[in-house]
């Protein structure tokens, strides 16, 4: 669903992704990156990949889900040859990793979930190719 709003989000209670209108994005690369980030959250719903969402900003669960979504977005964009500047993504990922301080395995755990999320999203691309 597209609206004239300033933020994109996934609403688990309604299983709904809300994105700003396409005209509000700097370019199509930023739009797709944002859409894939929200789709990555969408894959975590109980009836899909069943990840635990954090309800509180800056909680470890929230930080972990954001880390998964950022990594998944990078994997999807890379797989679809969507080139973009990942500078902001890198800083964002580092900020979420910082929430886990001494857990050196967290990045690898998040990467495993991110790969599942990316595979789930990219499966739709394969289905479209088969129909065409």
Residue 82's CB: how many other CB atoms inside 10 A?
15
How would residue 121 be classed by pLDDT, with cut points 50, 70 and 90? very high
The residue among 114 and 66 whose pLDDT is bigger is 114
Q: What is the pLDDT of residue 114?
A: 98
Mean pLDDT of 34-54: 93
CA nearest to 19, candidates 10, 76, 28, 45: 10
pLDDT of residue 56: 66
Domain that holds residue 41: 2-131
- Please name the residues in contact with 64: beta carbons below 8 A apart, sequence gap of 6 or more: 52, 54, 96, 100, 106, 109, 110
What is the count of structural domains for the chain?
1
Instruction: Select from 45, 25, 44 the least CA-distant residue to 35.
Output: 25
């Amino acid at each position: 669903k597209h609206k004239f709003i300033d933020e994109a989000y996934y609403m688990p209670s309604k299983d709904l992704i809300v994105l700003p209108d396409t005209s509000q994005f700097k370019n199509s690369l930023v739009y797709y990156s944002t859409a894939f980030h929200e789709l990555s959250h969408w894959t975590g719903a109980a009836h899909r990949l069943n990840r635990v969402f954090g309800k509180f900003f800056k909680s470890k669960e929230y930080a972990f889900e954001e880390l998964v979504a950022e990594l998944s977005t990078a994997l999807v964009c890379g797989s679809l040859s969507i080139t973009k500047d990942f500078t902001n993504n890198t800083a964002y990922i580092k900020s979420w990793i910082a929430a886990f301080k001494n857990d050196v395995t967290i990045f690898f755990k998040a990467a495993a979930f991110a790969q599942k999320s990316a595979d789930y999203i990219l499966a739709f691309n394969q289905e479209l190719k088969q129909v065409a």
